[in-house]
A and B are shown apart, each in its own frame.
Chain A
Amino acid sequence: MSVSAHPTHDAGTEPYQPVFTGKVLEELQALLGRYPTKQGALLPALWLVQQQRGWISDRNMTEVAAVLGLTPAYVKGVVTFYTMYHQHPVGQNFVQVCTTSPCNICGAEDVVRALLQATGAKELGATSPDGKWTVIEVECLGACGFATPVLINDDFLESVSPEKVPELVQRYR
């Protein structure tokens, strides 16, 4: 049988810079007050990490675990469950396009193709050569009457059509 070593996304040769210091730590402490257990603050804490670093590395998970009294494995199990947490770096503009049926029948796949073309990302999930774009298909974004909705980082855009894509991409470039 072939045996693999563990895939490490974060090579971790440089000294680790903690996320939860200063203002970020203050934010976390405020969050902790909302839940009767430290564990309750896990999802918000992971959002804080992603906001600061753009993604959540294995070492970040170890830090979050230490701060909340959990094990790194436990945190990792949670991170890998929720698809919005990035486990590796993504393009500067992270683009999520809904292609579930209600948007699908309104041309969502054409929007995806247009975006892949216009951004230079070419493939779903890949980052464009200039590092500025990653485009993925996602499931229902809850804006079905405004097909096709597109989430670019935190901007929720409605009624995107293939014709609107070039101007949109230009705006964010």
Chain B
Amino acid sequence: MGYPHKAHRKETTVLSKYFGDPEARSYKGWVKRGGYEAWRQALTLAPAAITDLVKESGLRGRGGAGFPTGLKWSFMPKEKKKPHYLCVNADESEPGTFKDREIMRWTPHALLEGTAIAMRAIQAEVGYIYIRGEFTEPYAIMGQALAEANAARAFGDLKIHLHRGAGAYICGEETALMNSIEGKRGNPRIKPPFPAAFGVFGMPTTINNVETLAAVPPILTNGPAWYKKLSLSNPKSTGTKLFSVCGHVQKPGNYELTMGFPLKDLLYELCGGMRPGRTLKACIPGGSSVPILDRAETEACLLDYEGAVERGTMLGSGGVIVFDDSADMVYQIMRLARFYAHESCAQCTQCREGTAWTTKILERILAGQGKATDLDLLLDLSDNMTGKTICVLSDSCAAPVVSGIKKFRGEFEDYIAGRRRPVMVA
């Protein structure tokens, strides 16, 4: 459901069926709605069997990387020699993305159930749900739900703990998340070693996104074949995805669509199109870390992992940011660069210095002091910042810069040439 809007008929409401329904939050309410059936089913299956089901369904990580979930689970040691851990990534901080928040505040038990099933599949006794510090409401609701579930001994001996973040986008990176749980600065780790071998507290660990885990119970109750059939374009992208649409549309919100759904239809039909008198200029379909699409590319894009790649971007987190013709692309790209500069953990030289320098150059352009060489400098900097660091925050800063200059070069040149009045002070 495109909460706060009612579900559009073209939506496929699996995860979002009960968004907006306050009764779904309670343990009793969730059970009444068929909840915890999948968990009971999972208890009859061997861990490896659960993993196989998820593998077969084609479920891929919904946090942004799109890595096959069943495959990730299978990386965990089959023979249990040490404690195993599951970490749930509820750090949702990718600009444009607001779906995990909805899952947690409307259907907390869906997440808990998916978490428990995953823990069984990977043989983990302890799970941490890492919720970003700013999500005060989801934190409270998840706490309440967990208390109720524990009171009902829903998960047996499994221990699920909430861990509150404290303001760091980078903690959404899986290895930084683990460091944060351990009580350290949220610095990403170099890989290898990989989490399944050496994760949180040095133990085998799997990290999964909220939306990914919330999809697990339906996969078990309806069967993987059902999930696989939910695919409109490429069979490698199955199931439904919550697309968080924001920016310049009439009806922003979360829309649950079958994989492969046309982006054009999402924007013009489900979201009610542009504001009166406005035309679509640009769209970032997967959260701010993926390349920007111009209008033609947006209208030709199919919303699945392969479809986005075909358009030269990525599906990412599915945070769809829409810019109409009133948007100042240069300013917004500057604002995104500033976001990355603020969030850089400071380990890698390219990221620490490059994100800040990129921001400064863009600010200077917006202040009317841009130079003709600035665009080439930005592109060279972006190249330096891509593929050379511990994590991809650096690459993520480069993505909007490179795609922005490529597709909206005229706007940059207008500032540099003095054809557009400065909007910032140097």
Contacts and interface: CB of A to CB of B under 8 A. Distances in A.
Contacts of A145: 98, 244-246, 252-254
B166 A139 contact: no
A146 B136 contact: no
Interface in A33-91: 34-37, 39-44, 46-47, 68, 77-78, 81-85
B237 interface: no
Nearest to B100: A142
B321 A40 contact: no
Contacts of B165: 43, 82, 84
B254 A105 contact: no
B186 interface: yes
Interface stretch (B144-152, B258-266, B298-306, B336-344): B336-344
How many interface residues does chain A have, given as a range?
A: 35 or more
A80 B166 CA distance: 11
Given A100-B95, A101-B335, A43 B164 contact: yes
Interface in B246-277: 246-248, 252-254
B192 interface: no
A25 interface: no
Given A81-B168, A100-B335, A101-B336, A142 B97 contact: yes
A46 to B, nearest CB: 7
A139 B339 contact: yes
A40 B182 contact: yes
Q: Number of contact residues on B: which range applies? A: 35 or more
Contact of B182 (A39, A82, A96): A39
B95 A102 contact: yes
Interface in B124-152: 132-137
Contacts of A46: 166
Given A43-B183, A77-B185, A143 B101 contact: yes
Nearest to A84: B167
A16 to B, nearest CB: 23
Nearest to B288: A101
A147 interface: yes
B323 A105 contact: yes
B327 interface: yes
Interface of A: 34-37, 39-44, 46-47, 68, 77-78, 81-85, 96, 99-102, 104-106, 138-147, 151, 154-156
